[in-house]
Amino acid sequence: MKKKSIKDIAQELGYSKTTVSFVLNNKGDEKNISKKTQEKILAYVREVNYQPNQIAKSLKKGKTNTIGYLIPDISNPFYAKIGRLIEDLLADKGYHLIIGSTDETQEKEDLLLNMFVNRQVDGLILASSFENLGMLNTLAAQRFPMVFFDREHPDFFGNYILVENKNAMKGAVQKAIKHGAKKIGLLSITPNVYSLELRIDGYREALSDNLIDIDNSLIRIVDNNNLKESTKVQLKHLVEDQVDTIVFTNNQITAHAIWAMNIFHQEKIDDIRFVSFDNLDLFDYSKPKVTSVAQPIEKIAHYTVDILEEVMNKKECISKRIVLEPKLIERL
Amino acid sequence: MKKKSIKDIAQELGYSKTTVSFVLNNKGDEKNISKKTQEKILAYVREVNYQPNQIAKSLKKGKTNTIGYLIPDISNPFYAKIGRLIEDLLADKGYHLIIGSTDETQEKEDLLLNMFVNRQVDGLILASSFENLGMLNTLAAQRFPMVFFDREHPDFFGNYILVENKNAMKGAVQKAIKHGAKKIGLLSITPNVYSLELRIDGYREALSDNLIDIDNSLIRIVDNNNLKESTKVQLKHLVEDQVDTIVFTNNQITAHAIWAMNIFHQEKIDDIRFVSFDNLDLFDYSKPKVTSVAQPIEKIAHYTVDILEEVMNKKECISKRIVLEPKLIERL
DNA sequence: GCTTTTTACTAAACCGTTTTACTAAATCGA
DNA sequence: TCGATTTAGTAAAACGGTTTAGTAAAAAGC
């Protein structure tokens, strides 16, 4: 039982491919196909459960209804959640998602970008590390529909959906200071992307503005390749340095630090406050207490899809930069 | 600057499409294309950065190198993690993933299954709720390459990668009993899939085997559509019923219960032990203590991809059922 | 009753590849 | 030196749709 094509349908019914195609695409009336014929074709198509070949359609139409979702890691809850929201929003418009996780490596990003282009995706949603500006610039030059989120690059001009990184972080740290924080450490993954640098800048500014000396030994970078273990090690340094507050630049590292505090520093667990960029459900009850800067993921997903649709439809070269306000969730 | 096709390359270089295609597919030698010509073509192709159109290729070859990943929700860490592992394993073989989240609804599952078929995916990896056995049977009858994981249906004959649900749960509960559990409640999402029923059966068997009466009022089902709130409500009942242990059938509900215990039942937090199917990092330190049955997600991903490849390559109709052993992680 | 318009449909080109079946020229063997 | 083989390629069909440009017959207009 091979799959039936329009050609088969046409032959079996004694019509031409053209007629069948018109009917299937709801152009029957417009193209003067008689009601009787239309019904006959539709009935038959239903009977044999004909399924159009999207690939053939895509080739002819030059449109695949597919969007590439390029991110560091789909198993990171932040990208998974936004991915899910985007999936639903796009599904309503008839688009579907191909995913690509880069692990922040240029090699994989290149490969995936090429794959997406070869597969003729209609657009790209990406949280890129911008290590391959060359390829991105080429795509931008061809006006390939792209929307970037979560990360930005000062030298790359494109559509961005971002959150206020610096000021949000600054605000969170300032609140902590207002509530008595004096010795404030920072733990970050390697700040290979601009957004992370901005978060660190926010931390620095909060300290300066409050006349707290910035002690670079309290700013510690963990090894991305060995996140959990490295977080544990760096955290130990900060605990030994008697900080009263630790600031984290993303949720993954905060989660690992909570783990390490509970397993290795129980005795200090009530003496240290955490401030995290990104929220996690477990922050509602975890120890230490975590005040977090929650990104508005629904809004991020909405804007991303909206702007992508705009750039896919319009021929003009628009370039929007939308900066959303994160929400500070204080837990004291 | 429109995209170049093989035709353009051929014209610009004065060769035929055939020759260019042969060279690009490494069939130059085999097809007796001279070294000089091969080099000329390859050099030019590189110069103009020619990118083959995968869609055209797929149409002609009848192969898209795309796999559909159909699951309840990609933002569920369990499916996201397995998804990521599968993504990497498949990428090595030249395949990529289109995702579809069903929210456990038959409507969405139907729509997505149809979408995958129309898009000519080469295979399907699915954690289906099996509510649309009809459609799945149709696909199975056409020998569509499919591998099911995480869930099974007793009436559906296909390739399954599963974990021992009943015995693993039974073992976990028995351990709890051995460590003194006397009054043991159970909290589950609606057991609309067989795997969940098996887990509940495991709980029941553990109690019977240890001569503990099964009190159906201690078996509580939460509302899938309002998981967090409903978990809180049902948990309250169990706490008030003075259970000393609560068994959960998946990680999502356990996470919500940990949240609810911390927020609403602090005073009892040391009196109750949790037993969870599925592991989460936070179980390492969360209160209450959580003993968990950890699914071997790496193995699941490996077997899934292996079997899928097998069924895609072999024409014979194989039907494997692989049952993996989960790991009990005791935290006392 | 003849031209014009409308109705109902179709042939063929096309999207960008792959692949089968050829051909013309060069080389080889005896 | 002549037939066979090898070398180096090409033309055209095919994949399964969409779309353009048509056509023949029926209906309408006058």
Q: What is the pLDDT of residues A107-166, one digit of tens each?
A: 999 999 999 999 999 999 999 989 889 999 999 999 999 999 999 998 999 999 999 999
> How would you label A169-186 residue by residue, b for 16+ Cβ within 10 Å and e otherwise?
bbbbbbbbbeeebeebbb
Q: Is residue B117 in some structural domain? A: yes
| A173 shares its domain with A152 | no
Q: Is residue B88 in some structural domain? A: yes
Cα nearest neighbour of B85 on chain A: A75
Angstrom distance (rounded) from CA B134 to CA B157: 13
Q: Is residue A1 in some structural domain? A: no
| A159 shares its domain with A248 | no
| A121 shares its domain with A229 | no
pLDDT band at residue A1 using 50, 70 and 90 as cut-offs? low
Q: Is residue A202 in some structural domain? A: yes
| A195 shares its domain with A288 | yes
Cα nearest neighbour of B119 on chain A: A54
Residue A17, CB, strand D, below 7 Å: yes
Residues 128-147 of A with CB under 7 A from strand D: none
Check: CB of residue B324 under 8 Å from CB of residue B163.
yes
Mean pLDDT of A229-236: 97
pLDDT at residue B131, as a whole number: 87
pLDDT at residue A332, as a whole number: 86
| B11 shares its domain with B33 | yes
- Is the pLDDT at A258 greater than 70? The verdict is yes
Tokens 């920072």 correspond to what residue?
A186
Q: Is residue B68 in some structural domain? A: yes
| B83 shares its domain with B141 | yes
Nearest residue to nucleotide D18 when comparing alpha carbons to its C1'?
A60
Residue A318, CB, strand C, below 7 Å: no
Tokens standing for residue A21: 């195609």
Tokens standing for residue B121: 């995916």
User: Residue A19 CA to D25 C1' — how many Å?
Assistant: 18
Report the CATH number at residue A102. 3.40.50.2300
Checking each nucleotide's C1' against the CA of B17, the nearest proves to be: D10
Contacts of A285 in chain B (CB under 8 A): 258-259, 262-263
| A102 shares its domain with A139 | yes
Q: Is residue B310 in some structural domain? A: yes
Please count the structural domains in chain B: 3
Q: What's the Cα-to-Cα distance from A123 to each of A114, A139, A146, A310, B195, rounded to whole Å? A: 13, 11, 6, 11, 38
| A48 shares its domain with A110 | no
**pLDDT tens over chain B, length 332 residues:** 678 999 999 999 999 999 999 999 999 999 999 999 999 999 999 999 999 999 999 999 999 999 999 999 999 999 999 999 999 999 999 999 999 999 989 999 999 999 999 999 999 999 998 888 999 999 999 999 999 999 999 899 999 999 999 999 999 999 999 999 999 999 999 888 899 999 999 999 999 999 999 999 999 999 988 999 999 999 999 999 999 999 999 999 999 999 999 999 999 999 999 999 999 999 999 999 899 999 999 999 999 999 999 999 986 677 899 999 999 999 98
Q: Is residue B330 in some structural domain? A: no
pLDDT at residue A185, as a whole number: 97
Distance from CA of B134 to the nearest CA of A (A): 13
Taking the CA atoms of residue B8, residue B14, residue B18 and residue B19 in that order, the dihedral angle to the nearest 10 degrees is -120
Contact B282 A286 (CB under 8 A): yes
Distance from CA of A205 to the nearest CA of B (A): 32
Which amino acid would we find at residue B323?
V
Residue B32, CB, strand D, below 7 Å: yes
Percentage with pLDDT > 90 across chain A: 92
- Is the pLDDT at A177 greater than 90? The verdict is yes
User: Residue A61 CA to D23 C1' — how many Å?
Assistant: 27
Angstrom distance (rounded) from CA B212 to CA B247: 15
| A172 shares its domain with A207 | yes
| B113 shares its domain with B83 | yes
Nearest residue to nucleotide C12 when comparing alpha carbons to its C1'?
A18
Report the CATH number at residue B29. 1.10.260.40
Q: Is residue B259 in some structural domain? A: yes
| A89 shares its domain with A233 | no
Cα nearest neighbour of B51 on chain A: A118
Q: What's the Cα-to-Cα distance from A63 to each of A52, A70, A117, A119, A121, rounded to whole Å? A: 15, 19, 12, 10, 8
Contact A120 B54 (CB under 8 A): yes
pLDDT band at residue A97 using 50, 70 and 90 as cut-offs? very high
Bin B163: left if φ > 0, else alpha if -120 < ψ < 50, else beta: beta
| B135 shares its domain with B192 | no
pLDDT at residue A2, as a whole number: 75
Structural domain boundaries, residue B101 = 64-162+298-325
Contacts of A55 in chain B (CB under 8 A): 55, 58-59, 64, 119-120
